[in-house]
Structures are given as structure tokens and as C-alpha cells.
């Protein structure tokens, strides 16, 4: 099976369009840029202890068709928001993209 056979619908790519509030302050406006098909999966995880609390740090990867996605974009899927960290076109074949993500809390 090809990787595309595992893609799911409704992966939303959001792009920040900075605006100015009525008081002159810069405001981030994350607007929907694209809705694509893709597969989000964890690629690395580790347990962390910080301030006597244990947590988990996990990196994710989005595999999708070639689209207009930048490192400064965000991805939303099933109510979870991720920050795009790196966009990679494997071997420059223009068949799909590997996009490294970090979950936002």
C-alpha cells in the first residue's frame, strides 16, 4: 500500500496573518489556509522531569501531499493544534511531504 492510502481528511493548515488591534497592539490572527488529507503520527517521545513533575515530550510528523505549508504555520486535527517545525520533501520527488510538528498546549 502507498502512504497516501493511510491519509485522513480534514487536516487544517492555519497561517498567521498579523493584524493590529484598535489600540495599536500587534495581534495574531490564525486563519484557515488549507484543508488537506494527511496522516499525523508520533515519531519520538521521552519522559521528562521538571520541577518535581513528570511529563512527556513527543514530536509528531504529518505526512501529506505536496502543499503550500511553511515552518511558521500551524496544523489542527481532531481538536489538537500543532506547530510546524520543519517541512521536508523526501528526495525532492514532489510526491508527499514530511512535516515535523510539536503539539501546543
**Interval 41-53: pLDDT, tens:** 999 988 777 677 7
54-to-27, 46, 49, 62 alpha-carbon distances in Å: 33, 10, 4, 26
Mean pLDDT of the region 1-22:
89
Name every residue whose Cβ is closer than 8 Å to that of residue 70 and which is 6 or more positions away in sequence.
15, 84, 87
What are 15's three cell numbers?
A: 497561517
Residue 10 has pLDDT above 80, yes or no: yes
Architecture of the domain whose range is 3-103 = Beta Barrel (2.40)
**Interval 14-46: pLDDT, tens:** 999 988 888 888 999 999 999 999 999 999 988
Nearest to 12 by CA among 31, 34, 38: 34
**Interval 51-93: pLDDT, tens:** 777 777 889 999 999 999 999 999 999 999 999 999 999 989 8
Amino acid at each position: 500500500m502507498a502512504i497516501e492510502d493511510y491519509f485522513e481528511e480534514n487536516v487544517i493548515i492555519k497561517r498567521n496573518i498579523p493584524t493590529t488591534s484598535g489600540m495599536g497592539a500587534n495581534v495574531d490572527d490564525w486563519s484557515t489556509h488549507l484543508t488537506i488529507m494527511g496522516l499525523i503520527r508520533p515519531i519520538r517521545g521521552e519522559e521528562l522531569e521538571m520541577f518535581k513533575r513528570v511529563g512527556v515530550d513527543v514530536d509528531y510528523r504529518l505526512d501529506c501531499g505536496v502543499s503550500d505549508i511553511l515552518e511558521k504555520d500551524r496544523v489542527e486535527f481532531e481538536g489538537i493544534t500543532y506547530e510546524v517545525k520543519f517541512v521536508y520533501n523526501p528526495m525532492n520527488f514532489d510526491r508527499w511531504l514530511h512535516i515535523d510538528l510539536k503539539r501546543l498546549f
